[in-house]
Structure 1
Amino acid sequence: MSITFGRTDTSVLGRWWWTVDRWTIAALMLLIAVGALLTMAASPAVAERIHVESFHFVRRQFVFLAPAVAVMLGVSLLTPRQVRRMAVIGLLVSVAMLVLVPLIGAEVKGARRWLTLAGLSVQPSEFAKPFFAVVVAWMFAGARLDPGFPGRLIACGLLGLVAGLLLLQPDVGQTAVLAMIWAVEFFLAGMPLLLVVGMGMAAPVLAVAAYQMFPHVQSRVDRFLDPSGGDGYQVATALHAFRNGGLFGCGPGEGKVKLVLPDAHTDFILAVAGEEFGLALCLVVVALFAFVVLRGLARLIKEDNLFVVLATTGLLVQFGLQACVNMASTLRLMPAKGMTLPFISYGGSSMIALALAMGMVLALTRTRYGQEGLDT
């Protein structure tokens, strides 16, 4: 049964169908399908290793699939004004949860990043990123359109607040992603050249400071620079999986890396893809991520609403950067960082938060005309 709407259909769904980017929806659905396939391939072995039922992670992941798709499509129905309102409320809730994380959050591997709500584990930082991107875009756009509006000052304050809360966990990687979103949006909104130079000079200083202040950052950088001098087991095992998989892989279910790699279903799920399905599937995944980002940016070429340009770019930077960090860590192109591969790695918080982010991208890049175009 196919969905068909006439071009003269003025219903909510009819207008949505002819204004939303259906190619981006198709690419995102393919990513979700690949994620479901790889979760079924990778997680049973991990479940058995920690002595839980084989399909424990599969069932938990599939529970979030339908809500994630519903959230993404539901949010895509919103107008830019409604996206802003949702982002403001969402950021306030996310900040409140980030305040609670160091106080009552569960400690895992020396960090507190999770809250348990109604029996579910929630990672507030995953939700803070997309809401932060939209609210900061609103502040920068407001400052550009009205020089008397203190949008830049508010945006700087929001960066300091959210980044400070993330560093308390500590989560340096998510803080870096947040800072990158902020910097890209500020640059597009007209960052002064002197500040561009200053931030360029400050970046390596901040990187050295993070290395000195956070032992887990120091450990990961040291292992990256000298794999033989530390425990680089997961990355070395992942690289072996890629070599073993070759071009077309050893076949579904035939991989060995998932039997020994602790994070085979989360941070290193691309290694499972490389071993069982080969370079071919990995290139498809890379192409899908690139398509979503480039397609979203292409939709902005004729956009004259500064808020829409900034918010969409910030959301796409988050999406693309997170994918690049995960894949680069797996391939030992950068120090290891526990960051999920969007829509593919196991994780309910990540799945729903990314669905929110891409739903907002779909909403902001819809073709707008007439009264709908004025509702921004």
Structure 2
Amino acid sequence: MKKLNVKLIDFWIVIPYILLLGIGVVMVYSASFYNNMMVGGSTTQYLVKQAIFAVIGMVLCFLGYMLKTSILKSRGVITILAGITIPVLLYLVFKGILVPSNKVNGAFAWVNLGLFNYQPLEMAKVFFVMYLALVLSNKRKVLMDVTFKEMLRTNVQQIVILGGTIFLVLIQPDIGGAMVLTLISIVMISASTIPSKLIISMDVSLVAVVGMIVTFLFTFKPGHFAQSYQYQRFLAMQNPFALERGAGAQLVNSFYAISNGGLFGVGLGNSIQKRGYLPEPHTDFILAIISEELGVVGVVIVLLLLATIVLRMLLVGIRSQNVYTSLVMYGVATMMMTQIFLNVGGLLGIIPLTGVTLPFISYGGSSMMILSLALGIVLNLEAEEKYDSIKLR
């Protein structure tokens, strides 16, 4: 029970986390009640669900915090994470191929569990962080002096598992999710003990390959790709007002919401764009509703709370003397930072819409619970280091 010592708890993470959960519950209700009322449903439907997700999230955060670090570092945990991620991704891919009409927003990424929809991508993010942290920390001495060929030869299993998982997410298709997993991998590998020259050559090669693939797709526009939901989102980003009645509708109404809000907003509950103009405003575009109702001030507060958590994890990772702890910190920070960038960049029209949720704010059970678990693990590893340092005094 040593971890219940208040001195071991990082309140720079805990307080912003709790505040974000509260803001998320309130804003999900504000963004969803009007549409629910119009269709004759309960106006508190999403409020109740999001509140339940928040409570479950806090419980998972606590459990992640209380687990023994030896359990977190065990291969058994990695095997369990892989077992509830990769087979489900395979199932979704095959189901999407066999029954393409059941895709939602152009992708087949969820499994209906009754109470909520399970998105294996969220678990894949934690799996990537824990798996890479374990492998890279265990091989830290070997990786200090390794050539590119030796690294490929000795890490075939890891490359196949990670690359295969990213591929399964990509062909759902979920480009945003594949980007998050790829960036987690790049950051954690770059932060490992692999020689800098090798990391730079790997990163440059990866960027070149991705660049060539993207260039090919958007230059030659293969038939299937040109008709895809993802390509339409790219066109919408380039000129949303030209596609206002089609793929650009969400982005245009997001702009209207941001413009309406101004500095201080129109008041909580008074958004116009959530009233049938902005589809599903309680999910990917909830920050646009926050901007309209609470203004720039409200958006800045939310982003500052998120930034506090991310920056705190990066700081703890930099200060840590333990390779495993540092890598977990960098991995979870990258997970959150990438989601924030993809969500905010999408609703501002800087990048194509990816369907990525805003951490702890957007409606969604899988995202809320997995991110909370990840924060619990982060707090756990930090507390363990603090306890060890206190014992050495």
**TM-score with structure 2 length normalisation?**
0.85
How far did 1:373 drift?
A: 9.9
CA RMSD of aligned residues (A): 2.4
Q: Which residue of 2 aligns with 1:5?
A: none
CA contact (8 A) 1:140 1:151 kept: no
Distance 1:139 1:220 in 2: 37
How far did 1:64 drift?
A: 1.3
Distance 1:152 1:311 in 2: 20
Q: Which of 17, 27, 37 in structure 2 is aligned with 1:48? A: 37
How far did 1:101 drift?
A: 1.6
Q: Which of 232, 236, 240 in structure 2 is aligned with 1:223? A: 236
Q: Which residue of 2 aligns with 1:249?
A: 265
How far did 1:216 drift?
A: 2.1
Q: What are the within-5 Å matches in structure 2 for residues 107-186 of structure 1?
A: 107-146=103-142, 152-186=155-189
Q: Does 2:82 correspond to 1:91? A: yes
Structure 2: tracts of 5 or more residues without a match: 97-101, 144-149
Instruction: Note closer, same or farther for the CA distance 1:334–1:43 as it changes in structure 2 (3 Å cut).
Output: same
Number of positions where the alignment pairs a residue of Structure 1 with one of Structure 2: 363
Percent of paired sites with the same residue: 28
How far did 1:301 drift?
A: 2.6
How far did 1:356 drift?
A: 1.4
Q: Does 2:98 correspond to 1:102? A: no
Distance 2:390 2:324 in 1: 13
Distance 1:18 1:28 in 2: 18
Q: What are the within-5 Å matches in structure 2 for residues 225-240 of structure 1?
A: 225-230=238-243, 231=246, 232-240=248-256
Structure 1: tracts of 5 or more residues without a match: 1-10
Instruction: Note closer, same or farther for the CA distance 1:101–1:135 as it changes in structure 2 (3 Å cut).
Output: same
Instruction: Note closer, same or farther for the CA distance 1:210–1:77 as it changes in structure 2 (3 Å cut).
Output: farther
SS in 2 for 1:108: coil
Distance 1:50 1:373 in 2: 58
Q: Which residue of 1 aligns with 2:357?
A: 340
Q: Which residue of 2 aligns with 1:3?
A: none
Q: Which of 207, 211, 215 in structure 2 is aligned with 1:208? A: 215
Instruction: Note closer, same or farther for the CA distance 1:370–1:272 as it changes in structure 2 (3 Å cut).
Output: closer
- Runs of 4 or more, structure 1, over 4 Å off, are 147-151, 209-213, 369-374
Q: Which residue of 2 aligns with 1:267?
A: 284
Q: Which residue of 2 aligns with 1:290?
A: 307
Distance 1:61 1:224 in 2: 30
Q: Does 2:78 correspond to 1:65? A: no
Distance 1:321 1:90 in 2: 21
Q: Does 2:4 correspond to 1:14? A: yes
Instruction: Note closer, same or farther for the CA distance 1:369–1:334 as it changes in structure 2 (3 Å cut).
Output: closer
Instruction: Note closer, same or farther for the CA distance 1:273–1:261 as it changes in structure 2 (3 Å cut).
Output: same
How far did 1:177 drift?
A: 1.0
**TM-score with structure 1 length normalisation?**
0.89
How far did 1:50 drift?
A: 4.2
How far did 1:305 drift?
A: 1.4
Q: Which of 275, 290, 308 in structure 1 is aligned with 2:325? A: 308
Q: Which residue of 2 aligns with 1:74?
A: 63
Q: Deviations over 1:314-365 (max 9, x none)?
A: 1110111101111111111211111111000011111111111211221222
Aligned residue identity for 1:233? A
Q: Does 2:271 correspond to 1:281? A: no
Q: Deviations over 1:134-162 (max 9, x none)?
A: 11222122222345997743332222121
Distance 1:39 1:336 in 2: 20
Choose 202-211 or 136-145, whichever is displaced more.
202-211
Q: Which residue of 2 aligns with 1:6?
A: none
SS in 2 for 1:40: helix
CA contact (8 A) 1:46 1:265 kept: no
How far did 1:45 drift?
A: 1.6
Aligned residue identity for 1:160? G
Instruction: Note closer, same or farther for the CA distance 1:208–1:140 as it changes in structure 2 (3 Å cut).
Output: farther
Q: Deviations over 1:256-307 (max 9, x none)?
A: 1110211210010011111111110100111111111111111123312112
Distance 1:119 1:248 in 2: 36
SS in 1 for 2:108: strand
Instruction: Note closer, same or farther for the CA distance 1:256–1:131 as it changes in structure 2 (3 Å cut).
Output: same
Aligned residue identity for 1:365? E
Instruction: Note closer, same or farther for the CA distance 1:273–1:118 as it changes in structure 2 (3 Å cut).
Output: closer
Choose 245-254 or 202-211, whichever is displaced more.
202-211
Distance 1:139 1:181 in 2: 14
Instruction: Note closer, same or farther for the CA distance 1:70–1:372 as it changes in structure 2 (3 Å cut).
Output: farther
Instruction: Note closer, same or farther for the CA distance 1:352–1:205 as it changes in structure 2 (3 Å cut).
Output: same
How far did 1:209 drift?
A: 5.0
Q: Does 2:382 correspond to 1:365? A: yes
